């Protein structure tokens, strides 16, 4: 049985999980960390240039995750555009 035959017999869910397992694990880890920090009354203080910002730690974790996702999406889009130009 060749690799191509094995791929054709996999369901769409299995193929999705094979390609996206790392992203799924990271999202689950993010949810666990956000919930753990949301249960406590932890506050994070961030110094931005001349000011400071205080927010719940779980919110900071979610914001950093979203910023990372957006940056990753932009890099992937730019890489795809460069490949399309070749």
Q: What percentage of the chain has pLDDT greater than the value 70?
A: 90
pTM: 0.63
Residue 58 has pLDDT above 80, yes or no: yes
What rounded mean pLDDT belongs to the chain? Answer: 81
Task: Supply the pLDDT for residue 76.
Answer: 85
- Side-chain-facing half-sphere of 9: CA atoms under 13 Å: 6
| 68/65 Cα distance (integer angstroms) | 5
Q: What is the mean pLDDT of residues 58-79?
A: 87
Radius of gyration of the chain (CA): 19
Q: Sorting pLDDT into bands at 50, 70 and 90, what band is 8?
A: low
Given a contact cutoff of 8 angstroms between Cβ atoms, the answer to whether 58 and 35 are in contact is yes
């Amino acid at each position: 049985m060749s690799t191509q035959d094995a791929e054709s017999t996999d369901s769409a869910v299995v193929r999705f999980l094979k390609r996206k397992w790392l992203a799924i694990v990271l999202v689950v880890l993010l949810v666990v960390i956000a919930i753990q920090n949301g249960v406590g009354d932890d506050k994070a203080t961030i110094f931005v240039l001349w000011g400071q910002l205080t927010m719940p730690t779980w919110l900071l974790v979610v914001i950093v995750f979203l910023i990372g996702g957006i940056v990753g999406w932009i890099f992937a889009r730019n890489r795809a555009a460069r490949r399309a130009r070749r």
